[in-house]
Amino acid sequence: MKVGLFVPCYINAIYPEVGVATFRLLDSLGVDVDFPLDQTCCGQPMANAGFEEKAIPLANQFDELFNKFDYVVAPSPSCSVFVRENYPPILEKKGHLCQTSGKIYDICEFLHDILKVEKLPSRFPHKVSIHNSCHGVREMMLSSASELNIPRYSKIKDLLNMVEGVEVFEPKKVDECCGFGGMFSIEEPEVSVCMGQDKLKNHIDTGAEYITGADSSCLMHMQGIVNREKLPIKFIHVVQILAAGL
């Protein structure tokens, strides 16, 4: 099994430690993982802003660069789902059949569904509250969406429960949006902040020391509110917990 590691641009620029933790974790599990140096943004920001044509060259480069791998893994449900769901119709407009949309997985999805890990060599003796991002819940199915009224499950929680010492909590309104929503937080900042404040209250009420999740963009949005309002909680990407102590 040959895996290509895709590190989204905002993680590369702002949270490089998340990319490093992803590589270390996959390597520790015996995965043959490579990090192609010529990778770029997946094109999601352009498409979300209404400039889908601008995403086509990036999609073409991604497809060419990662096509040689058996799997593509990224520490981001948002970017992974964009490649999976949006690349085929975007590239089809130019007569190109996408080769990578069926190969890409978020790191949590890959560990849970493909590697089917049963134990992890990590330790994180802290209380954490899981943040379920909208893309992760409703497009990648990392957890059950409450509106579906189906039996509750959480792949992130399953993985965290393998980490020694961690105490896992979930907030009220467990899959409610934090208000980031890509361009939404820019176009409707007042509403976005109010949603973030509500979400943070529910996380803080769990008594957790950290908020964790699979999408750094959501964590970044909430951390901005915490920093401005000096609220008593910290943030950590879930892959950093799963790789803690390696």
Domains of the chain: 2-115 (3.40.50), 127-242 (3.40.50)
DSSP 136: H
Q: How far apart are CA 197 and CA 191, in angstroms?
A: 10
| pLDDT tier at 189, thresholds 50, 70, 90 | confident
pLDDT tens for residues 125-180?
999 999 999 999 999 999 999 999 999 999 999 999 999 999 999 999 999 999 99
> What number is the average pLDDT over the span 9-20?
95
DSSP 152: -
Q: Are 215 and 139 in contact (CB under 8 A)?
A: no
Listing DSSP states for 97-118 in one string gives --SSTTTEEEHHHIIIIII---
Q: How far apart are CA 29 and CA 35, in angstroms?
A: 16
User: What is the enclosing helix (H) or strand (E) of 57?
Assistant: helix 52-66
Q: Give 220's contacts (C-beta < 8 A, 6+ positions apart).
A: 10, 14, 15, 180
Q: Are 168 and 157 in contact (CB under 8 A)?
A: yes
Question: Does the pTM exceed 0.75?
Answer: yes
